[in-house]
Amino acid sequence: MSKKILITENIVGPGIDGLKEKYDVTQDKDLWQKSDELLNIAGDYDAIIVRNQTKVTEDLLKAASRCVVVGRAGVGIDNIDVKAASDQGIVVAFTPEENSISVAEQVLGMMLCLAKKFPGANASVKSGSWDRMAFLGVELFGKTLGVIGLGKIGARAALRARAFGMRIIGYDPYLTKNNFTVTETGAELCDLDTLLRESDFITIHLPLTDETRQMINEETLAKMKPTAYIINTSRGPIVKEEALYEALSKGTIAGAALDVREEEPPKESPLNTLDNILLTPHVAAFTQEAQDKVVESLADDVDRVLSGGPALRVANFPSPRK
Ligand code: NAD
């Protein structure tokens, strides 16, 4: 009897097609919203594949008594209780850098939109106006980009920003000046206060942890230049939206761009009323190429574990311990 895989979200691509040829795959793109049903059926499957919406809790993992691998199509694993999975010997496979380039490209796109005011100019022309003076922009050349979290995405954004002639500074207390993401990007490491004070653009690339939750708040925003912009494509709760709204509406900072939100999808928000913020619906990794790479790598690792081999990209250990 072939092994059984459960997919709880909308995850498609040649990688999944390959799994369907070899295994008994059940896919329900809305199952992540039906937690009781998920809990009831989890025990029937050898592998569970999720994206970022399914909450893979300790209870779910305990119910998944046959499961040897949980696959997360994407980077952030904050929706998976990795410790509980490890306690039960379940491999947690994910795709740590398959979408890094797409996110870094979105950062550059957002920086250019903020600097050149493209979204406002586009809306203005389409409404019949030709108001050039309203859209005086700024150059990226010669400006300082502050990267908070100089990991896989932060470094790729920094490298691309260097092509625009930007100076790169970075705050990442877990790195030394000899780490390759520092040496290869030419970033100067500094403390958070220096980064906030000196940056013309700030881009956030942190995991969501107790330490990073609401790192951008009234106090940190107050340290930024009034001409500076801040971009968050990492995790929404790292930026306190209420404080950001105050800073943007009072002109404490010049502008912001958010791909991720405190709550997703967000409720009606005062941020929607502001002209100096650019909002996208968590799409930084949503390119055809990134999605294909994510699904291909994840399917490969799930297949490896189900075939008795070690997974290559894991958050805990490569082979099940059960
Ligand atoms: P990464 O692990 O490669 O890099 C994160 C960096 O943050 C590391 O260098 C780490 O040392 C640093 N860091 C950790 N805690 C810190 C702290 N308290 N202060 C300063 N630095 C700290 O991660 P990545 O692949 O670059 O991903 C970054 C974030 O982007 C993650 O939260 C991920 O979930 C998110 N992401 C979002 C999307 C999207 O669609 N918007 C797509 C992919 C990834």
Cα separation of 160 and 88, whole Å? 42
Q: What is the CATH number of domain 4-98+288-306?
A: 3.40.50.720
Give pLDDT, residue 48: 98
Could you identify the atom of ligand 1 that is nearest to the CA of residue 205?
Answer: 28
How would you classify residue 251: left for phi > 0, otherwise alpha for psi between -120 and 50, otherwise beta? Answer: left
CA-proximal residue: ligand 1, atom 4 (nearest):
151
Among the ranges given (75-84, 120-129, 136-145, 270-279), the one the predictor scored with the smallest mean pLDDT: 75-84
Could you identify the atom of ligand 1 that is nearest to the CA of residue 207?
Answer: 32
pLDDT in tens, 171-205: 999 999 999 999 999 999 999 999 999 999 999 99
Single-letter residue type at 299 = A
Q: Over the chain, what is the mean pLDDT?
A: 97
Is 72 among the residues known to form the active site? no
61 — pLDDT class (breaks 50, 70, 90): very high
Spacing, Cα 248 to ligand 1 middle (Å): 24
Spacing, Cα 196 to ligand 1 middle (Å): 18
Where along the chain do the CATH 3.40.50.720 domains lie?
4-98+288-306, 100-279
Is 205 among the residues known to form the active site? no
Spacing, Cα 117 to ligand 1 middle (Å): 27
Residues 144-162 have a mean pLDDT of 98
Is 235 among the residues known to form the active site? yes
Alpha helix segments (H runs only) across 88-237: 100-116, 118-126, 152-162, 180-183, 192-198, 218-222
State CA 154 to chain mean position distance: 11
Give pLDDT, residue 76: 85
37 — pLDDT class (breaks 50, 70, 90): very high
Pocket test for ligand 1, best of 156, 180, 205, 239 (most atoms within 8 A of CB): 205
pLDDT in tens, 81-104: 999 999 999 999 999 999 999 999
CATH architecture of the region 100-279: 3-Layer(aba) Sandwich (3.40)
Look up the pTM and report it.
0.92
113 — pLDDT class (breaks 50, 70, 90): very high
